[in-house]
Amino acid sequence: MSSQKLLQTLESLFKQHESLYDLSIKKVDVIKSSNIESLDKILIEEQKHIAIINKLDEERKAMVYELVSGHPISGNEPTMTDCINIVSGQTKQQLTDIQNELIKVIDKLKQQNELNQALIYQSLQYVNLSLDLLIPQPTSFNYEKPTSTTSHEQIVNRSMFDSKA
């Protein structure tokens, strides 16, 4: 019974990741158009998905521990591979399939997020360039020695240790 609950939780995780991926694709157009209000709405939706994913992941961990209790595991913490090795028949194939689907959608999501990050970085560079063109920068931030030579400068250049012997 717990393997079926695990399978349902993994399917829910897959759906949430797919939905998050769809949001990340929508984010590309919003970033390109510089629509801040729409970007805020998408970010709020992403936060909701992430909260649901975190909750589902905690449930998944609990179910995995329950499923592998009493069975040998390969590392310190049980993995999906450990669960797949424990179950048999159709459930084994279903767990393998959903694991592969989850891996694929998470990889796609990671690539899409990297693209969005690059687009946001590029937008920030454009904004900074625009600001630099609009606001003139001072030529120097440090104190500079005046360029005119006066008798006072000549006195200052003389060392205190210069003395006639």
Tokens representing residue 122 in the block: 């590029």
Q: Is 160 exposed, middle or buried (0-12, 13-18, 19+ CB in 10 A)?
A: exposed
66 pLDDT tier (thresholds 50, 70, 90): confident
With beta carbons less than 8 A apart as the criterion, state whether 31 and 120 touch: yes
With beta carbons less than 8 A apart as the criterion, state whether 49 and 16 touch: yes
List, for residues 18-40, the tens digit of each pLDDT value. 999 999 999 998 988 888 899 89
With beta carbons less than 8 A apart as the criterion, state whether 71 and 87 touch: no
Q: List the domain boundaries for the chain.
A: 2-137
Task: Give the Å distances, CA to CA, from 95 to 53, 64, 80, 98, 133.
Answer: 18, 12, 8, 5, 57
| Cα–Cα distance for residue pair 138/69, rounded to 1 Å | 68
List, for residues 77-108, the tens digit of each pLDDT value. 888 888 888 888 888 899 999 999 999 999 99
Q: Please give the CATH topology (third level) of the domain spanning 2-137.
A: Methane Monooxygenase Hydroxylase; Chain G, domain 1 (1.20.58)
List, for residues 110-148, the tens digit of each pLDDT value. 999 999 999 889 888 888 888 877 876 666 667 666 665
